[in-house]
Amino acid sequence: MMRGAHGPVRGIVESVEDLSPTFRRITFSGPELHALATEGPFYDQRIKLILPNAAGALPRIPESEDWYQQWLALPDDERGIMRTYSIRDLTRQDNVTRLTVDFVLHFADDGSTGPAAAWAAGAEVGSELLLVAPRHGEPQSGIEFSPGHADAVVLLGDESAAPAIARIVEDLKASTAAPRVCAYIEVPENVDQLTIDAPGNAEVTWLPRGEAQPGESLADALGWHVHDEPEASGEDADDLLWETPVFSASGEDLAEVAAPRSGTYYWIAGESGVIKGLRRFLVREVGVDRAQVAFMGYWRHGVAMRG
Ligand SMILES: Cc1cc2nc3c(=O)[nH]c(=O)nc-3n(C[C@H](O)[C@H](O)[C@H](O)COP(=O)(O)OP(=O)(O)OC[C@H]3O[C@@H](n4cnc5c(N)ncnc54)[C@H](O)[C@@H]3O)c2cc1C
């Protein structure tokens, strides 16, 4: 849940671009986006989208510190639907603020999808939704990427994490003390390999899934990686996995493991079941220190994400 001091802003679709069969890039602008903080780096900054309700209207949410409670209290048919996405880009140029989101157009074999993917598939110039993203003057929150003083960073994710990985890699390009980066991104098809403006010390490997099981190529990539670069160094809940050096969704106290880092920092995001498998391998089998890893379930097979 994200609590902005003053709530969502109205995003108006300025452009829609199909990058591949899987990814649709949508850029939002509109006067209300001026309130957003456009100074990066954004890394994996999460944002919330509030989609129109069944009548096609956006909910009316007052500008107030408790906007989230007020939004929750709206009748079901007015409230609309909230989902979490990443900032692919956020710029201000010639007094116009633009926020770009890369949507995965996920459709199951029976044609079913979710409200956010359906909205993106039908979006056109002028379509509107509400965006909850950091505003000017607000304390920073919603970035999990935290490599500390790591010498090397390993990013692993599926297509839902591709926008966040791309942003992290591009933001590191601008950083003076950038660590060495290896990114592995599993995508449905060969043609889903997107352009990332990576720095010279970053290696981005796209892993088309094809007919393989989801996560199989990520597990292989992690295995090779760990094998080539050995590290020094309770059973899974049903909830979405979210475990970073400073926060555990299972309520575990991780204060003790949030130590300053060196060595390799792992950032892993995607389908929750796949991520659990990768975490098991890395933490239990390889014995990588928990302070060196962030595991995040970005979606869960067969489950609609609320907020
Ligand atoms: C921090 C964070 C950042 C994220 N950034 C992005 C981003 O930039 N771009 C992006 O596309 N997604 C991103 N996601 C994932 C996105 O929030 C989920 O995919 C979400 O479920 C999509 O909502 P929906 O309404 O389309 O589907 P839902 O209503 O949530 O789910 C409906 C059905 O679709 C399935 N489903 C959901 N997502 C996928 C998927 N990716 N592939 C296959 N099946 C799926 C579910 O299992 C369920 O059966 C992010 C998630 C988090 C937590």
Does 272 contact ligand 1 (Cβ within 6 A)? no
Question: What atom of ligand 1 comes closest to residue 159's alpha carbon?
Answer: 41
**295 touches 279 (CB < 8 A):** yes
Q: What is the pLDDT of residues 171-217, one digit of tens each?
A: 999 887 788 999 999 999 999 999 999 988 899 999 999 999 999 99
Q: What is the pLDDT of residues 250-265, one digit of tens each?
A: 666 555 555 446 789 9
Nearest alpha carbon, ligand 1 atom 22: 116
- Give the Å distance between the CA of 281 and the centre of ligand 1: 24
Does 214 contact ligand 1 (Cβ within 6 A)? no
Rounded distance between C-alpha atoms, residue 26 and residue 297, angstroms: 23
Amino acid 167: pLDDT: 98
Ligand 1 pocket test, pick from 155, 159, 160, 192 with the greatest ligand atom count within 8 Å of Cβ, gives 160
Does 84 contact ligand 1 (Cβ within 6 A)? yes
- Give the Å distance between the CA of 287 and the centre of ligand 1: 30
Does 42 contact ligand 1 (Cβ within 6 A)? no
Nearest alpha carbon, ligand 1 atom 24: 114
Does 249 contact ligand 1 (Cβ within 6 A)? no
Does 45 contact ligand 1 (Cβ within 6 A)? no
**71 touches 105 (CB < 8 A):** no
- Give the Å distance between the CA of 57 and the centre of ligand 1: 22
Please name the fold of domain 152-299. Rossmann fold (3.40.50)
Question: Of the spans 206-215, 244-253, 282-291, which averages the highest pLDDT?
Answer: 206-215
Amino acid 258: pLDDT: 57
Provide CB contacts within 8 A for 271, sequence distance 6+: 158, 160, 214, 215, 297, 298, 299, 300, 301
Q: So where are the chain's domains?
A: 9-132, 152-299
Q: Per-residue pLDDT for 301 more than 90?
A: yes
Select from 49, 86, 55, 56 the least CA-distant residue to 71: 49
Question: In Å, how far are 142, 145, 195, 218, 249 from 41, measured between CA atoms?
Answer: 12, 11, 19, 26, 25
Q: What is the mean pLDDT of the chain?
A: 90
- Give the Å distance between the CA of 11 and the centre of ligand 1: 20
The b-or-e profile of 121-132 (16+ CB within 10 A means b, else e) is eebeeebbbbbb
Region 9-132: CATH code? 2.40.30.10
Question: What atom of ligand 1 comes closest to residue 103's alpha carbon?
Answer: 11
Mean pLDDT of 268-287: 94
Does 299 contact ligand 1 (Cβ within 6 A)? yes
Rounded distance between C-alpha atoms, residue 94 and residue 229, angstroms: 46
Q: What is the pLDDT of residues 53-100, one digit of tens each?
A: 999 999 999 888 899 999 999 999 999 999 999 999 999 999 999 999
Reported confidence tier of residue 2, pLDDT bands at 50, 70, 90: very low
Does 302 contact ligand 1 (Cβ within 6 A)? yes
